[in-house]
Amino acid sequence: MDTEKPTEKVAGNAATVIIGQKVRAGSEEAFEAWQRDMNAAASRYPGFLGAEISAPTAVQPDWVVVYRFDSVAHVQAWINSATRQDRLDAGQPYFDGPATQQVITGGGVREADPLVTVVVTHRVRPEHVDDFLAWQDRLRLEESRFDGFRGSELFRPVEGVQDEWTALYRYDNAADLDTWLTSATRQELLAEGEKFHDFELRTIDNSFGSWFAFDENGHEAPPPSETKTSIAVWVGLYPTVVILTLALSPLKMPLWLGLLVGNLLSSFIMSFVTMPYYVNRILGHWLRPAQGVPEARTNRRGLAVVAGAMVFWVVVFYLVTTQFWTLP
């Protein structure tokens, strides 16, 4: 279904959320600070791959925020979370009207360079789906004949998240895009697809590079392996458990109660403190290596950091429990 020029392939199963928001005049700096706090909150949710903010430009009239998660389920968990809703409530003074939101997953290939992207959402009645797909094929065929065209993708509705079909198409620059948008060819095709006139079109500037890029399954980079994940949890769990043990030891709780309380507290601390603020920061380049970096070099550096961190904690806790303090 996709029309693409040859580009770099990627693998996985990601989902992308594209949010457009008009901001009240004079609130731009406050909005950006608020949005960065929102992105930081999103980064602590399972499956988070990244987030990007783009201010309005001559091509893009709204502020645009893009989130990447490794699955639709994790996107849903973030979108529907109380954390996000609380922050949305706090951000209301900065908004100039409701936001637009599209969720896309699957399709296409990865672009290696930044492009101007158009996002078009369509509401399509179930009985019109076949006609809609045929019409989209004709649109893509004509788009591909225009200068600057770099590819298009069509994404089906995401069950439980979004009812609209979403089409993305990309051009080298705003001038080439405008030639297509104002062309007689496109006007004729829009007239031909009159029953699909209930659509919304937004242009997103090229600062996002290859954010809108997918392989057959829709993912930009695979999640960490189970081995890496296990080691990362170990790196965070050891200091967390030892510190909790030292903190709770004066209470002299029986074993069964001490483990019950300790496990509960360690779960919260690991989720909200240790993993996002410690493990992900020191091991992020190893868990999600940058593209083009040799795997062997990444693994050597990652394992060196793991070894260094664990030696540090072993020495600290040895000194604390043998030289400065004896457990009750």
**Residue-range domains of the chain with CATH:** 3-208 (3.30.70.100), 226-324 (no CATH)
Beta strands per DSSP E along 130-195: 149-155, 165-171
**Mean per-residue pLDDT for 197-217?**
55
Percent of the chain with pLDDT over 90: 20
The pLDDT assigned to 309 comes to 95
Least-confidence region, from 113-117, 139-143, 157-161: 113-117
- pLDDT greater at residue 299 or residue 108: 299
Give pTM, 2 decimals.
0.49
**Where does residue 14 rank: exposed (0-12), middle (13-18), buried (19+ CB within 10 A)?**
buried
The pLDDT assigned to 216 comes to 36
Q: In what order do the strands lie in the sheet with 116-122?
A: 3-4, 149-155, 165-171, 116-122, 199-204
DSSP annotation of 159? T
The pLDDT assigned to 4 comes to 33
**Mean per-residue pLDDT for 118-127?**
83
> CA quadruple 74, 165, 120, 97: dihedral positive or negative?
negative
- 3-class DSSP state for residue 70? coil
- 3-class DSSP state for residue 51? strand
The pLDDT assigned to 196 comes to 75
Asked if 158 contacts 76 with a C-beta cutoff of 8 angstroms, the reply is no
Asked if 249 contacts 324 with a C-beta cutoff of 8 angstroms, the reply is no
Query: How many whole angstroms separate alpha carbon 46 and alpha carbon 74?
Result: 6
Query: How many whole angstroms separate alpha carbon 51 and alpha carbon 232?
Result: 22
Placement of tokens 């409701």 in the chain:
98
The pLDDT assigned to 209 comes to 42
User: Tens digits of per-residue pLDDT, 17-48?
Assistant: 888 888 999 999 999 999 999 988 988 888 88
**Mean per-residue pLDDT for 273-300?**
81
- pLDDT greater at residue 172 or residue 311: 311
Pull the structure tokens for residue 46: 């399972």
DSSP line for 18-50? EEEE-B-TT-HHHHHHHHHHHHHHHHTSTTEEE
Reported confidence tier of residue 265, pLDDT bands at 50, 70, 90: very high
